[in-house]
Structure 1
Amino acid sequence: MNKFQRNSKFRHPNSKTEKAFLQPTFRWLVGIWILIVGICGHAVAAPYIEYLYPAGAQQNRTMEITLGGRSLEGASEVWVSGSGVTGKVLEVNMPTEAQIREARKRDEVAAQTARVRLTISPDAEPGIRDLRVMATAGLSNRFRFEIGKLPEVSEKEPNGHLADAQQLPALPVVVNGQITNADRDFFRFSARAGQQILIEVKARAIKSYLADAVPGWFQPRIVLYNSEGDRLAEADDFRFDPDPVMFFKAPADGDYIVEIWDAVSRGRDDLVYRMKIGELPYVTDIFPLGAPRGVMHHRFVARGINLPGKKADWICDVSDRQPGISEISFTLENGEKTNARPIEISELPEVPEYEPNNAQRQAQRVLTPVIINGRIDKPGDIDVFTFSAKAGDKLVIDVMARRLGSPLDARIVLGPQKLLGKTPTADDVKDERFGLITHHADPRLAHTFTQDGDYFVHLSDTQGKGGVEYAYRLSIAPQQPDFELRVMPDNLSVPAGGNVVVQLKSIRIDDYNGPIRLSTEGLPPGFELAGAEVKAGKNQTILTLSAPLDAKPGVYKPLFRAEAEIDGKTVTHKANVAEELMQAFFYYHTVPVEQGYLVVTPASPFRVEVMRPADAGPLELTLGKECEIPVRIIRDPNYRPPVAAPQPPKAKTGAGTKGKATAKKKTTSKNKSAGAGKNAGKKNAKKPAKKQQPQSAAKVPIRVMASRGGKGMIVEVAVIEAGATEGVVKVRCTNEKMVGEEGVFIIEATQRFRGQKTSSLAPALPFKVLPAEDGEPVNLVRDPSEKKNQPKK
């Protein structure tokens, strides 16, 4: 298969010596990038990584990888989280005409490619890293890159049939492959009789979502054959995870062949996989799924293959873990580590489930608050628990199972009906904190009790399934109002003296509905947030982050904090930087990243500001009434626009065309005189003079507008001509539903010159919409979307 080569350069930010400031070790490289940005001086889309191939490497290796994406021009740096990885950009390649044509057939945009040489140190920590590219347009999105300990090989064509299966070296091994042109890849390996062989594929674990494909991710499928071509086993997932995992016991010494392809029969450069094959330990499930905070010796029972027995007991110290979800792996006697499994650390008392508890008369009594560690250990099993509640108590009944890797699709029923008057139930409840889960199968039920008494919780699997792996953590506790905050995007870019738009998304827990404030740490003085609050009752907002005019261009690592008042106490959390990913054209998921970055570029040739006092408060918009926003443009007198590149000469006319033109000139005098009167006026008429294009950006008008105000906002743009500095943006709210609402305007000034767009933002301008004044006529404009839905007359 054709592997497009790519380029980039790795550098890991050192959090100890550079908490937020530019690293001295690569300042000269960033200086080159700053020079490029300063020369270009126009707004373009940020670099975007669509795939890496291969998407991982073994420790203590130097290798080349291919990176595919968009806006990769001028790629100068590649950053990777963690330590122990360095690299060098070798080249950036634009797509060929053939690749562009093929992409058009698929209604796609052909990717650029970059070739990168990476060096992974012997002590580089194994696991998933975030990799980014620094290019002319700024810092890219992150892409997952895995560091491992096992030997690795890359797929080689032709290997599209059983007879052409690629011979692999001795196991264990990691195979890197790519499904292009809807092909299939076959690999041959040797195994001994009785060996428990693991075949684990990582595809969605590398690229979580495909924005332009259904179901929204690469869906690999694997089939295992013996040397005669007989099918032995197949898999296309592991429980609810789309990445397949297969276990098989080799029946005899000999060769075996594994086939992998996309179950939807697609082929694309970004269908990249890593397939691990070998007699390796693998934990399929653990019990319990968590532990109380502060426990030094907690017993976990693990099941899987190539473990010490059918199940293995491990005593683990979890005393240093904070409440929440983390991962745990286990170490074998030979020093080998198992795969990681998620666990939850809680601050509530915990008890185990005891059988029999399949009916109300056998219900296990618990004292609240409590977390019960249990299992639906066979198909059709129901676990019943009883607890006491008083009138006025508001308890939350929550099941953690799918969020902790359990296949349980839980359902809870609250009883008895004679006390409740109804039968409250809960099944699938979406938890926005888990952006990588697409089937939210964990139930959550909040209930306010009106009578004193004993109540029952019935817990079962909605599909009637069960087994030792169907574990859960059932929490019965009072409400604990809380919140989480996501900051997007994770690769902000702002010019010195300018502003950048920041999006906030709040995840409210247990009915917390108050305001949430955002602050930033780790930036030099002068950086400021404007409008940094999610209003009460709202789940998202936008704001701006401003950089001082003397901000040093480079890469910074800001830290964000979220703060709110809950039950009279100030609660502070880390605000997680996140990326927003699209799945299958329609669905959006917010996924936290390890570290966000802020790129400061050289100052723009002009800045825009709103001519209002800083303490003026929100702009008051009366419904239907025009409001003026005075703005000012501040031009940089020292800015020098880039010199226009010389235009290539027009192509000369070919010989055949020239002959035709000559033939047309050969006309008889009769024809000339006949046409003279008809065309004389046209020949003698003066051609209109061509409009002179301005030779300097200083002579090009700047347009200023207000955006992000919401539906029903009519905006009149201010055009500030050359030589002028002030103008007025006019806005009018025509949406009655916005009365009483608050929001922010983003004031943006743009200028287009020589095919380039330069833009500048002012700090976010807050506003609120007031009702129309009594007796004043209100000119409301119907929403254009409503107009479209009206039947034609």
Structure 2
Amino acid sequence: MRRFTFGLAVLSVMAGNLSAQQPPPGLPSARVQHVFPAGIRAGASVEVTVTGTDLEEPEKLLFAHPGLKGEWIKPPTEPTPDPKDPKKTTPPPKTNPAGPHTFKVTAAADVPPGVYDLRVVGKWGASNPRSFVVGDLPEVNEKEPNNDVPDAQKIEIGTTVNGVIANPTDVDYTTFAGKKGQRVLVSCLATSVDSKATPMIEVYEATGRKLATSRNYRESDALTDVVLPADGEYLIRLFQFTYTAGGPDYVYRLTVSAAPWIDAVFPPVVEPGKPTPVTLYGRNLPGGQPTEYTADGRALEKLTVSVTPPGVPAAVTQLASRAHVEPTCALQDGFGYSLKGPNGTSNPVTIYFARDKLTVKTKSAGGPDAAEVVPTPGEVAGFLARRGERDWVAFVAKKGEKVTIDLAAERIGASGDFFFSVRDGKDPKRDLSGDQDDDNDTLHPSGFYTRTTDPAPYQFTAPEDGRYLIAIGCRESSYLNGPTAAYRLRIGQPLPDFRAVVMPYSRFYQTGSSAWQGGTQAYHVFAHRTDGYSGAIGVTVEGLPAGVTAQPLTIGPAARWGVLVLDVAPGAAPANAAVTVKLTGTDAAGKKLERVARPASVVWGTNQPDQNVPVLAKLDQSLVVAIRAEKAPFSIKADIPNAVVKPASGKDKEEKVNGPVVVLRQGDKATVPVKVSWTVPEKPNVTLTAEPLAQNQQGQPVAVQFATQPTKDKPDVLVNIDAKTGSVPGTYTIVFRGTAPVAFAKDPTAKQKPNVPAEAFGTPITVLVVPSALGRFTTGPLPNNTLKLGTSTDLPIKVERLHDFAGEYKVSFVPAKDATGVTATDVVIAAGKDEVKLLLKTAPDAKPGALAGTVVVTALYGGKHPVTYENKVSFNLAK
């Protein structure tokens, strides 16, 4: 059973919200609530019913695999003859245009078993994805009545039953016949098919004796297995845990089989592109050998197989898995794996990529004296084999060397609350770091909640040359141990990098895409920075339909997220397209980093969007943009070239921007003209708000205020932008959102059109914040602060660099107006250096006495924006 204590607490808070959630008010956008059945056998066809909102005029189902097709079954509209009496007809059934809708789904025989995205494409766009499973066993739907033992549905071993917990007290019984000694697995997918259910399964023999029970094997999926004690009939009892909820959203997939099941892979990480033997731990593994380990009290077998992970650079920075991926594991890199056996294919699992040379821990835990020495940089894969034990790892470091230590367990799908500490290699009792435990960080507090019980990456600075130890433990090692309690440990130099997740803007509700002509479509892009990466991240989009343009987006230095805005031209043709969001940055060595954002979506939202309650989310396999022929009710455009910059010094004149970027020095302000245009005759008032660049107001690098709000009489307004004096220099993208009540009805001829909230996103404003200083400078001193006439003297200039500036500084000396007889040739503090000497020359006939002047230092920020430092100096001229 997987541990996620904090997550379970969060979900318990959400439970009441999920059952009553309604789609947000607004213009229509296709949304899928549930799908039944939630899967299909490869090579088969099945009728699938999809329920949701705004699903009028469906065209098809869109899947994330080309071998899956979904054709809409149009309900009959004409009366049908009565077969018993040709003179009579049966009227067509009454249907709701918004659904539920039935589709004929066909899976090609070569579609690999796994979980795939399913979307409905229709008049109001492409819906949010729902998980749809492809299996390789025969499938049936639940048959009612099956609520009591005499009515149990009979199936054969090797069958999947698609069912639903229809109400809180619904109990579904299934029966199968087996032979003595058979090992039969009973799995029930719920979380993996985006269900609200928390099913509990119980297995009984014919006498009524309970043989096994399970719930929450992984998230809300259940799994157990039994070795049949005798030939005969066996009974499965399935119900919602605690009997407190049920309904059409509580679907499940119950599979009874002798197929293999993988509980763990060891090592859980492998080096990219390198064929590697790994050991599978699980049940019914073909040719598997017994082990001493168990999972939920069930014996595990082991089987060694060889895997060849991808080695292409673009692939090793992505996560490509056919399993359900929750946010806690979504930021790792890896690939999918399944094992095919004579009785079916195993569950899909994920194997992760190592970032450095991998050491697989083979020794038993032992004590600190038995610690394996790991080369740095490097990674270690291990697991706690027995109750209460700790693992020990050793490494060597030089005095002052900085070593990043990153321990991951829950992030790679393992069980347990792991922790570690760094110890003195000479005296293992001497703790140099303290226990490094739970990391409270999350990619987003509500939209994509990635908090785990893993420790945060820790930077250790070696106090002296020598050998150091890392002690690795688990809070629940008294009952969680074995290969399901595996970990990966990275030891080495920091590798600054980033990964990203992209989600539809409406992050509190399940949402797809419905972009109208002349309008906008927005997405949240969340950036996960690792090992101190703090640079700006540029965002672009590939694969957009004709007439759709991605507006510039830069996620500013150290910022965690931004809003990506797609502009739809007024004449853009209707289209559905899978697009790719790419992010680019630069590492410390100046090397370009390019990463692909991972699509994600809300599974179940919340009715409390302002309470920072996390939604249930998951990774998707694709990001779909849908363009529709409806006209957007209004648009917002910023006139950036006519923006005016007001310098903070008050000395310089106000200037127009005259370009695509608003350049502000720390403390400067700007005003940007913004105009709203309507396509609806009512021209309702629009309320503008700026999207936050940080989680709290105090952390905003750039403050945004609206002088007024646009109305039909005054559609032009000014946006005031203030670059805070303490803001981190760099590029930021300001996005503002407009909302307005718009009269709308799906039927354009309707006489009554109630007001619904509509939204639009304005032209993003790119702001470059230039630092007021690129270094702290010290000048001199001169000996006795005196220059002798007719001589030359070096004036030392030293700099403490700021804002990671590594370029050169030009240094000059400007005498005061009344100062004569002293000159200096300009010098340069070279890139990467921190000192230079300015040679001052005095004329023999210069007038003795006090002399004043200014040392001027100039550097170019970003290669073209001058930043100047001035320091007034005075000397004595003497004979």
TM bucket, shorter chain:
0.7 to 0.9
Q: 1:564 aligns with which of 557, 582, 585?
A: 585
Q: Relative to structure 1, is the Cα distance of residues 572 and 347 closer, same or farther in structure 2, using a 3 angstrom cutoff?
A: same
Q: 1:727 aligns with which of 696, 712, 715?
A: 715
Q: Which amino acid aligns with 1:325?
A: G
Cα distance, 1:53 vs. partner?
1.2
Distance across 2 between alignment mates of 1:569 and 1:591 = 31
Deviations 1:452-499 (A, max 9, x none): 221110112212332354333322121111001222218443333433
Deviations 1:274-320 (A, max 9, x none): 01102222222232223222323524354423531324443424153
Is the 1:77–1:89 contact (alpha carbons within 8 Å) kept by the matching residues of 2?
yes
Deviations 1:109-152 (A, max 9, x none): xx952222323333333221111112332111000011111111
Q: Relative to structure 1, is the Cα distance of residues 374 and 766 closer, same or farther in structure 2, using a 3 angstrom cutoff?
A: closer
Distance across 1 between alignment mates of 2:69 and 2:512 = 21
Is the 1:291–1:298 contact (alpha carbons within 8 Å) kept by the matching residues of 2?
no
Cα distance, 1:589 vs. partner?
5.6
User: Greater relative contact order (Cα 8 A, min sep 6): structure 1 or 2?
Assistant: 1
- Structure 2 equivalent of residue 672 of structure 1: none
Is the 1:379–1:464 contact (alpha carbons within 8 Å) kept by the matching residues of 2?
yes
Q: Which amino acid aligns with 1:471?
A: A
Distance across 1 between alignment mates of 2:669 and 2:484 = 63
Cα distance, 1:431 vs. partner?
7.5
1:230 and 2:209 correspond: yes
Distance across 2 between alignment mates of 1:739 and 1:389 = 36
Q: Which runs of 5+ in 1 are unaligned?
A: 1-41, 94-110, 209-216, 636-696, 771-793
- Structure 2 equivalent of residue 518 of structure 1: 539
Deviations 1:503-554 (A, max 9, x none): 2211111111111001122236764333411000210122422233443221
Q: 1:291 aligns with which of 270, 277, 283?
A: 270
Is the 2:544–2:579 contact (alpha carbons within 8 Å) kept by the matching residues of 1?
yes
SS class of match (1:194) = coil
1:330 and 2:344 correspond: no
Q: Which amino acid aligns with 1:727?
A: P
TM-score in terms of structure 1 length: 0.72
Q: 1:247 aligns with which of 220, 225, 235?
A: 225
Superposed, 1:132-211 pairs within 5 Å as 132-168=119-155, 170-182=156-168, 183-207=170-194
Is the 1:205–1:243 contact (alpha carbons within 8 Å) kept by the matching residues of 2?
yes
Cα distance, 1:200 vs. partner?
0.8
Is the 2:258–2:344 contact (alpha carbons within 8 Å) kept by the matching residues of 1?
no
Cα distance, 1:255 vs. partner?
0.8
Distance across 1 between alignment mates of 2:517 and 2:228 = 63
Q: 2:574 aligns with which of 545, 549, 553?
A: 553
Q: 1:534 aligns with which of 552, 555, 568?
A: 555
Is the 1:496–1:548 contact (alpha carbons within 8 Å) kept by the matching residues of 2?
yes
Q: Which amino acid aligns with 2:406?
A: D
Deviations 1:11-51 (A, max 9, x none): xxxxxxxxxxxxxxxxxxxxxxxxxxxxxxx9614222111
1:320 and 2:303 correspond: no
1:271 and 2:250 correspond: yes
Cα distance, 1:748 vs. partner?
3.5
- Structure 1 equivalent of residue 597 of structure 2: 575
Greater mean alpha carbon deviation, residues 749-758 or residues 274-283:
749-758
Distance across 2 between alignment mates of 1:82 and 1:751 = 39
- Structure 2 equivalent of residue 645 of structure 1: none
Q: Relative to structure 1, is the Cα distance of residues 467 and 505 closer, same or farther in structure 2, using a 3 angstrom cutoff?
A: closer
Cα distance, 1:376 vs. partner?
1.1
- Structure 2 equivalent of residue 629 of structure 1: 673
Equivalent pairs counted in the alignment come to: 636
- Structure 2 equivalent of residue 412 of structure 1: 420
1:476 and 2:497 correspond: no
Q: Relative to structure 1, is the Cα distance of residues 44 and 256 closer, same or farther in structure 2, using a 3 angstrom cutoff?
A: same
- Structure 1 equivalent of residue 370 of structure 2: 362
Is the 2:688–2:739 contact (alpha carbons within 8 Å) kept by the matching residues of 1?
no
Cα distance, 1:237 vs. partner?
2.6
Q: 1:88 aligns with which of 53, 71, 76?
A: 71
Is the 1:83–1:125 contact (alpha carbons within 8 Å) kept by the matching residues of 2?
no
SS class of match (1:270) = coil
Cα distance, 1:267 vs. partner?
1.1
Q: Relative to structure 1, is the Cα distance of residues 452 and 471 closer, same or farther in structure 2, using a 3 angstrom cutoff?
A: same
Distance across 1 between alignment mates of 2:687 and 2:665 = 16
Superposed, 1:39-78 pairs within 5 Å as 44-78=27-61
Distance across 1 between alignment mates of 2:482 and 2:636 = 64
- Structure 1 equivalent of residue 323 of structure 2: none
Cα distance, 1:577 vs. partner?
2.4
Distance across 2 between alignment mates of 1:123 and 1:761 = 43
Distance across 1 between alignment mates of 2:68 and 2:691 = 44
Higher helix share: 1
Is the 1:402–1:442 contact (alpha carbons within 8 Å) kept by the matching residues of 2?
no
Is the 2:545–2:576 contact (alpha carbons within 8 Å) kept by the matching residues of 1?
no
Distance across 1 between alignment mates of 2:285 and 2:634 = 65
Is the 1:545–1:763 contact (alpha carbons within 8 Å) kept by the matching residues of 2?
no
Q: Which amino acid aligns with 1:122?
A: A
Greater mean alpha carbon deviation, residues 66-75 or residues 578-587:
578-587
Is the 1:357–1:364 contact (alpha carbons within 8 Å) kept by the matching residues of 2?
no
Superposed, 1:303-314 pairs within 5 Å as 303-310=282-289, 311-314=301-304
Q: Which amino acid aligns with 1:218?
A: A
Cα distance, 1:759 vs. partner?
5.9
Q: Relative to structure 1, is the Cα distance of residues 296 and 250 closer, same or farther in structure 2, using a 3 angstrom cutoff?
A: same
Q: Which amino acid aligns with 1:755?
A: P
1:587 and 2:573 correspond: no
SS class of match (1:361) = helix
Distance across 1 between alignment mates of 2:594 and 2:137 = 42
Cα distance, 1:702 vs. partner?
4.2
Superposed, 1:415-494 pairs within 5 Å as 415-416=423-424, 422-429=432-439, 439-441=452-454, 444-465=457-478, 466-489=481-504, 491-494=512-515
Superposed, 1:367-406 pairs within 5 Å as 367-406=375-414
Greater mean alpha carbon deviation, residues 470-479 or residues 452-461:
470-479
SS class of match (2:254) = strand
Cα distance, 1:743 vs. partner?
5.7
Distance across 2 between alignment mates of 1:737 and 1:221 = 57
Is the 2:706–2:717 contact (alpha carbons within 8 Å) kept by the matching residues of 1?
no
What RMSD, in angstroms, separates the aligned Cα atoms of the two structures? 3.6
1:352 and 2:360 correspond: yes
SS class of match (1:264) = helix
TM-score in terms of structure 2 length: 0.66
Cα distance, 1:606 vs. partner?
5.8
- Structure 1 equivalent of residue 628 of structure 2: 601
Q: Which amino acid aligns with 1:404?
A: I
- Structure 1 equivalent of residue 748 of structure 2: none
Distance across 2 between alignment mates of 1:143 and 1:201 = 17
Q: Relative to structure 1, is the Cα distance of residues 274 and 738 closer, same or farther in structure 2, using a 3 angstrom cutoff?
A: farther
Is the 1:606–1:634 contact (alpha carbons within 8 Å) kept by the matching residues of 2?
yes
Higher strand share: 2
Is the 1:47–1:135 contact (alpha carbons within 8 Å) kept by the matching residues of 2?
yes
Q: What is the aligned-residue identity percentage?
A: 22
Q: 1:610 aligns with which of 613, 638, 642?
A: 638
Q: Relative to structure 1, is the Cα distance of residues 137 and 527 closer, same or farther in structure 2, using a 3 angstrom cutoff?
A: closer
Superposed, 1:641-790 pairs within 5 Å as 697-698=680-681, 700-710=682-692, 713=705, 716-721=708-713, 727-730=715-718, 744-746=734-736, 748=738, 750=740, 752-753=742-743, 754-755=753-754, 761-766=761-766
1:118 and 2:96 correspond: no
Greater mean alpha carbon deviation, residues 372-381 or residues 419-428:
419-428
Cα distance, 1:750 vs. partner?
4.7
Is the 2:397–2:462 contact (alpha carbons within 8 Å) kept by the matching residues of 1?
yes
Q: Which amino acid aligns with 1:308?
A: G
Cα distance, 1:69 vs. partner?
1.6
